[in-house]
Amino acid sequence: MDTQHQQSALKAAKVLMVGAGGIGCELLKTLALSGFEDIHIIDMDTIEVSNLNRQFLFRRSHVGQSKAKVARDAVLRFRPHINIRSYHANVKNPEFDADFFKQFDVILNGLDNLDARRHVNRLCLAADVPLVESGTTGFLGQVTVHVKGKTECYECQTKPAPKTYPVCTITSTPTKFVHCIVWAKDLLFAKLFGDKNQDNDLNVRSNNSASSSKETEDVFERAEDEDIEQYGRKIYDHVFGYNIETALSNEETWKNRRRPRPIYSKEVLPESLTQQNGSSQNSSVTDGDSMISVMPSLGLKNPQELWGLTQNSLVFIEALKLFFAKRKKEIGHLTFDKDDQLAVEFVTAAANIRAESFGIPLHSLFEAKGIAGNIVHAVATTNAIVAGLIVIEAIKVLKKDVDKYRMTYCLEHPSRKLLLMPVQPFEPNPSCYVCSKTPLVLEINTQKSKLRDLVDKIVKAKLGMNLPLIMHGASLLYEVGDDLDDIMVANYNANLEKHLSELPSPVVNGSILTVEDLQQELSCKINIKHREEFDEEKEPEGMVLSGWTQSPATNGESASTSNNENAIDATDSSSGPEIVTKKRRLSETKPENHKKEAENVESEEDDDLVEIENPMMVSKKKKRVE
């Protein structure tokens, strides 16, 4: 082996790591040990206690400090003479533009969310710098190599959107605990403690719709002098009692369903709680809003314990009381946060009471927190393995050893004896709107949808643009930036509120929009197709974007939402092992699609993948990188 030559290549290389979390800590260590001497690392996060079981460069005393900086200092202790530069910042900040990316020989991602991954992918394409991408969940992991023009980019395959549930399942007919969590978090918590002006489906739609929505709205408003406990009981009785009664009156709904049971506070709670549980004095021991908890005052210690209906009801009332007693200023603009203990307690209790009502098994706070916070399972070993695989690919990239690039899956259960399964990378998808600039098609009602809907639901949410600019022909409809004058800003804001067909340059059936993000250096065309009607349940956004190969529905991969840590596109470890095989079989049955076929991962007989002679493989191989 040309070890000497390789060592000097690594020494001279300048690499950028994005993310100093689970994968990042392992990666920085392995890069330093392997002989890399110029490493830059970006991470916006600070250290938390739940990181310490795997992010081994951090100690308890570091909690609250910058991950990038502490990781740098820790690695310099065993490799003092190398250069590590840390940035405690968001990779989406404008200073990290294509020019910044161009100074590096390779970019290594250890990220925890789809949004940032897409952003980095675009900058790598713009700067023409190779990207090694990675992710882990539990025992599963994956490493891929993305080189412009040679292999597919990160977005050549559409990434499944976070799992969503039909509105009526959440509001009226939950069958799983997760439905109760979504209800408690997105409807009830948001209604009580979040922005009051947001649309909210909390109240059951009853057949006699005249049932004064005015009246029910007022239930959630607390009068100035209203006793908090009375207010809490009123809410309790309304959402767990009255609303269920109302729902039960829709006989049609319950024909083939188990009927829920209305629950009223007087059935489960004593007349008055105030005396025995003066929650206010108990909370004085805590040292921050995120630490406030009702559990000590109720004698609840173990977060893995299952609470009964009474305990959940007590937690519900007491948590609500504490919000008003201790965190009144935040009410009206709170959003659920998995690190907010009181919010987790309230949501757990509310979800459990609802679950009880619908005959769904109750869950512990620990479990409820995992579901509500989309917490991704994470262990040190998978991160260490994936980091090792990233470095191996990074070395090949530096040597421009294109034939040897591999995408590697780390499996929980061996598939054909393999626990680490290398696969040849795929060619770029010719219809990828990111790396091949193929136009997209947007079906939309141009008379009813506003430019704001297009910006929020498509340009930002679907296309992942950070600082978008929208043009119709030569006419500039919208842009964001610091250097705009007031008149322009006013113009753009006015445009946002206009229907597409009423814009200064009307956008109608057949119009072609150009959407650009100057930071990501991404530009794409959207062909507009006017459509009158959309299915409320199936197409809740009221518009449908298509044009690049849509991977066939769901395939076990889902929810890689922005608060996930180290997420590959898999929700839970039990469905995980099937990811690989399922994905492939799906594409095998659809030969016309740009695809990932698994069966040619390896030849059965030979150890050496590069020398496959099986004629069956030839046609498939063509689609792969030569």
Residues that bind other proteins (CB under 8 A): 1, 3, 26, 29-30, 32-34, 49-50, 52-54, 56, 59-60, 77-80, 138-139, 301-304, 366, 370, 375-382, 384-385, 387-389, 391-392, 395, 406, 408, 412-414, 417-422, 565, 573, 602, 604-605, 607-609
Return the number of the residue (360 or 522) whose C-beta is nearest other proteins.
Answer: 360
The tokens 């469905």 sit on which residue? 575
In 468-531, which ranges are E strands?
468-472, 475-479, 512-517, 522-530
What count of other Cβ atoms lies within 10 Å of the Cβ of residue 435? 23
Cα(117)–Cα(355) distance, rounded to whole angstroms? Answer: 36
DSSP class of 252 = G
Q: Measured between alpha carbons, how far is 519 from 366 in angstroms, rounded to an integer?
A: 40
Is 114 flagged in the annotation as binding?
yes
Name the one residue in this structure whose structure tokens are 């909690």: 63
CB of residue 80 vs other proteins: minimum separation in angstroms? 7
> 21 labelled as ligand-binding?
yes
CA 242 to centroid of chain Cα atoms: 35
Cβ atoms within 10 Å of 599's Cβ, excluding its own: 13
Nearest-approach distance from CB 183 to other proteins, in angstroms? 22
The catalytically annotated residue of 25, 168, 180, 410 is: 168
CB nearer other proteins, residue 82 or residue 476:
82
What is the DSSP code string of 346-404? HHHHHHHHHHHHTTPPP--HHHHHHHHTTPPP--HHHHHHHHHHHHHHHHHHHTT-GGG
Query: Active site includes 168?
Result: yes
> Does 473 count as an annotated binding residue?
no
Min CB(426)–other proteins separation in Å: 16
How many Å apart are CA 576 and CA 569, to the nearest integer? 9
Give me the helix-helix angle, 341-357 and 309-326, nearest 10°.
140
CA 175 to chain centre: 24
Please calculate the CA angle 421-41-105 and round it to the nearest 5 degrees. 65
Nearer to other proteins, 33 or 616 (CB): 33
Comparing CB distances to other proteins, the nearer of 153 and 391 is: 391
54 is in an annotated binding site: yes
The least CB distance from residue 437 to other proteins, in Å, is: 32
Q: Which is nearer to other proteins, 243 or 564 (CB)?
A: 564
Which of 53/249 has CB closer to other proteins? Answer: 53
297: DSSP letter: G
- Residue 25 assigned to a binding site: no
153 known member of a binding site = yes
Least distance CB 607 / other proteins (angstroms) = 7
Long-range contacts of 2-10 (CB under 8 A, 24+ apart): 6/395, 6/399, 7/35, 9/395, 9/398, 9/399, 10/34, 10/35, 10/36, 10/37, 10/395, 10/398
Q: Could you tell me the smallest distance in angstroms from the CB atom of residue 338 to other proteins?
A: 10
Residues of each annotated binding site: 19-24, 43, 51-54, 67, 112-117, 153, 156, 432, 435
Residues that are catalytic: 168
Residues of each annotated binding site for ATP: 19-24, 43, 51-54, 67, 112-117
Residues of each annotated binding site for Zn(2+): 153, 156, 432, 435
